[in-house]
Amino acid sequence: MFIYLPEIKSKLGEAVEYCFQKDLDEYYNDFSEGGTLDLMVSATYTEDKVLVSGSFEASFSVPCSRCLEAFTQQVKGKFTEVFTVVRGSSEDYTQENLVDQAANMLTVPGDYLYLEEYIRQQIILVQEFRPLCKEECKGICAGCGADLNQSSCQCSTDDELIDVRLLKLKEYSSGS
Ligand SMILES: [Zn+2]
Ligand SMILES: [Zn+2]
């Protein structure tokens, strides 16, 4: 997932469109459950800067924050960023360094602007903090661990617990 700078440099000031559509695990190690990424990028070279803007849609498997069942979450987002082209040649750097520089320092030494890490951060930014498999997910029972979407359990009758407490209260008030 990279932009080859000499290509956009040759069209100085003109936006060049890129499209990346792949399975997430072709770019990232931590999406082993699968998932897809659909990324549109428009890049413009001006002087020593690269203006990059675009949008993405991704879908991937995450565990529900209530019941822990995996489900497919879909996210989308937009971004605009200016990367500064710095002196250097790509041969002086490993690909990991180039990926890291682009994402965290927004600089590009050499001819390749790698977007993997930058886009990963964009995906994280739009992710749900507490994803839910469905709005009305009942979660799992704190008592026995049963998935309450699948079945109810013996200990889910909260009434009994309350009754016990009420009984205790009665004992106190009558025992004085
Ligand atoms: Zn759930
Ligand atoms: Zn239970």
Tokens 């209260």 sit on residue: 169
What is residue 166's three-state secondary structure?
helix
Same domain, 47 and 84: yes
**Closest ligand relative to 69 C-alpha:** 1
Same domain, 15 and 93: yes
91 falls within a domain: yes
pLDDT at residue 167 in the model? 54
The amino acid sitting at 129 is: F
pLDDT at residue 169 in the model? 56
pLDDT at residue 49 in the model? 95
The tokens for 132 are: 């839910």
Q: Tell me the CA–centroid distance for residue 158 and ligand 2, in Å.
A: 10
Same domain, 32 and 71: yes
Same domain, 105 and 155: no
173 falls within a domain: yes
Q: Tell me the CA–centroid distance for residue 147 and ligand 2, in Å.
A: 9
Q: Going residue by residue through the chain (176 aa), what tens digit of pLDDT does each one get?
A: 999 999 999 998 999 999 999 999 888 887 777 899 999 999 999 989 999 999 999 999 999 999 999 999 999 999 999 999 998 776 778 888 889 989 988 999 889 999 999 999 999 999 888 999 999 999 999 888 899 999 888 885 554 444 555 555 555 555 44
16 falls within a domain: yes
Tokens 């990232």 sit on residue: 28
Q: Give the whole-angstrom CA distance, residue 99 versus residue 2.
A: 9
Going from the C-alpha of 68 to that of each of 48, 61, 114, 149, the distances in angstroms are 47, 11, 34, 11
Same domain, 90 and 166: no
C-beta of residue 81 within 8 angstroms of C-beta of residue 106: yes
Same domain, 35 and 120: yes
**Closest ligand relative to 146 C-alpha:** 2
**Closest ligand relative to 157 C-alpha:** 2
pLDDT at residue 118 in the model? 96
Domain count across the chain = 2
Q: Tell me the CA–centroid distance for residue 133 and ligand 1, in Å.
A: 4
Same domain, 19 and 86: yes
133 falls within a domain: no
Q: How many CB atoms lie within 10 A of CB 161?
A: 11
Same domain, 172 and 87: no
Same domain, 77 and 37: yes
Q: Give the whole-angstrom CA distance, residue 165 versus residue 13.
A: 73
Same domain, 97 and 170: no
Q: Give the whole-angstrom CA distance, residue 158 versus residue 108.
A: 59
Give the predicted TM-score (pTM) of the model: 0.78
Q: Give the whole-angstrom CA distance, residue 114 versus residue 176.
A: 76
Same domain, 89 and 167: no
Dihedral sign for Cα 89, 94, 97, 99, please.
Answer: positive
Q: Tell me the CA–centroid distance for residue 153 and ligand 2, in Å.
A: 5
59 falls within a domain: yes
Q: Give the whole-angstrom CA distance, residue 163 versus residue 103.
A: 57
**Closest ligand relative to 139 C-alpha:** 1
Tokens 């927004």 sit on residue: 106
109 falls within a domain: yes
pLDDT at residue 64 in the model? 95
Q: Tell me the CA–centroid distance for residue 11 and ligand 2, in Å.
A: 65
Dihedral sign for Cα 79, 84, 90, 95, please.
Answer: negative
**Closest ligand relative to 150 C-alpha:** 1
132 falls within a domain: no
Same domain, 169 and 119: no
171 falls within a domain: yes
Residue-range definition of the domain harbouring residue 35? 2-126
